[in-house]
Amino acid sequence: MCAGLGRNMFRPTGARMRAPGQIKMLQPVAIAQKQLADYASLSSRGLIEEIRARAERLRGKRVLHLSATAFGGGVAEILNTIVPLMIDVGLECEWQVIYGREEFFNATKVLHNSLQGNPTTLSEEQWATWLRYNEINAAQLSDGWDVCIVHDPQPAAVCSLVPENARLWVWRCHIDLSTPNALTLERLLPYLTPYQAAVFHLGAYVPAGMDGRAHVIPPAIDPLAPKNMAFSLEDAVYICGQFGIDIDRPLMCQVSRFDPWKDPLGVIDAYRIVKESQPDVQLALVGSMATDDPEGWDYFNATVAHADGDPDIHILNNFSSVGAIEVNAFQSYSDVLVQKSIREGFGLTVTEAMWKGRPVVAGAVGGIPLQLSDGKSGFLVDGVGECAERALEILRDPPLGKQLGRAGKETVRQKFLMPRLLRDWLELFEGHEV
């Protein structure tokens, strides 16, 4: 049970809130089958054996992952693999998505940006909206869980509302909390106090007040998912050609959400500098639109406007038939993969790009330096000019690009594949005596 705050402190007056018509708002996510054995050739034998031993001691434990959306971002991609792998090794694991309307996701977008350093905090009305939807979702949460893992700030208040519904509550933070808006963090922290554990990508993201409850667990990618599986160059060339890419000319590409923190406008600026020296270069900006990101379309449109009709800039998203296979093709084919983030929780698109063996130029922010060693497995940059300079260096020196790509792929194989993440979760459960 959660300790700390009194259970009535954040509870609505009277009976728990119910959604209109008593509709069950928490939605279970359908999970594909995955088997740990399929990853054995990509992981060390010792790691697979350790996972099986830990899992056997936890067999039958009930684990719930609670998140804001089932698609359109790194959290959903991780859960699409980690949940079925937890099931495969013997846990009774489920994934549920919270209910929310536009007003809720408008508020949580402000919350997300503010926690990553935006000076704007939530209004009192937005805080009330956030709490009201947490109350609605908490009222629908079933009990009897051994572990409930709540992902990111959208449903963070649920633990304080129904602490009795799980033995161990874990808050999993996927964003950069290194320089948060102090007012926003102060307002959020009381809702984090009841969690017995909190998980962050980096030690630098752990806010004061965690009192020894913080765990540092970097995320990972699924090497067998359609986005990351081995792809032939011929198939990649064919798919990229279907989207208007001239396959006989060099291509820069950024795969990310359309978000100011990912700085697609800065990528366009860097591409224009590169184009002054290498006029045949093309740029692809490939992203997905998430249901919990109401600003996504506004920033997508801003990106299109910034491109100003340049026929060599291709701006694509999941509503223009770009799915996991297409993202794989662009990452596998591009001459330079860019991730010019100005804030980044971790940057799984960097991990994905490195796994494809392609050279990466990425912002030296958040979790990116944890993955990429500057000059050895890619380039870390600060600003538009440096991004353009490093991209042009790779375009002019293909052997350098291959060297960086090989080193990057090996780094991911050793540190950032899904079996390692599964082991870390099992270790956390054991450490809290689930």
Tally the C-alpha atoms within 13 A of residue 430's C-alpha that lie toward its C-beta. 15
Say whether pLDDT at 19 is over 60.
no
Q: Which of 2-6, 101-105, 180-184 has the lowest mean pLDDT?
A: 2-6
Say whether pLDDT at 202 is over 90.
yes
The three-state DSSP-derived secondary structure of 220-287 is: CECCCCCCCCCCCHHHHHHHHHHCCCCCCCCEEEEECCCCHHHCHHHHHHHHHHHHHHCCCCEEEEEE
Mean pLDDT score across all residues of the chain: 92
The confidence band for 8, taking pLDDT boundaries of 50, 70 and 90, is very low
For residues 67-75, average pLDDT: 86
Pairing, β 27-28 against β 92-97: antiparallel
Domain locations in the chain? 20-220+417-431, 233-415
The confidence band for 267, taking pLDDT boundaries of 50, 70 and 90, is very high
The confidence band for 5, taking pLDDT boundaries of 50, 70 and 90, is very low
Q: What pLDDT does 20 receive?
A: 43
In angstroms, rounded to a whole number, what is the distance separating the alpha carbons of residues 81 and 14?
Answer: 40
Q: What pLDDT does 10 receive?
A: 30
For residues 109-125, average pLDDT: 95
Say whether pLDDT at 6 is over 80.
no
For residues 388-401, average pLDDT: 98
Q: Where are the beta strands (DSSP E) in 99-228?
A: 145-151, 166-172, 197-200, 214-216
Q: What pLDDT does 34 receive?
A: 97
The confidence band for 23, taking pLDDT boundaries of 50, 70 and 90, is low
pLDDT in tens, 346-377: 999 999 999 999 999 999 999 999 999 999 99
- Look at the domain 233-415 and name its fold: Rossmann fold (3.40.50)
Q: What pLDDT does 331 receive?
A: 97
pLDDT in tens, 132-162: 999 999 999 999 999 999 999 999 999 999 9
Q: What pLDDT does 24 receive?
A: 58
Q: What pLDDT does 291 receive?
A: 57
- Phi then psi for residue 180, to 5 deg, are -75, 160
Instruction: Check the CA dihedral 387-391-393-394 and report its sign.
Output: positive
Same fold flag, 20-220+417-431 and 233-415: yes
For residues 293-305, average pLDDT: 84
Higher-scoring residue by pLDDT: 366, 36: 36
The closest of 412, 241, 404, 240 to 336, measured between CA atoms, is 404
Q: Which of 216-220, 289-293, 325-329, 357-361 has the lowest mean pLDDT?
A: 289-293
In angstroms, rounded to a whole number, what is the distance separating the alpha carbons of residues 76 and 82?
Answer: 10
Tally the C-alpha atoms within 13 A of residue 49's C-alpha that lie toward its C-beta. 3
Q: What pLDDT does 385 receive?
A: 98
CB 373 within 8 A of CB 408: no
Q: What pLDDT does 12 receive?
A: 30
CATH 3.40.50.2000 assigned to domain 20-220+417-431? The reply is: yes
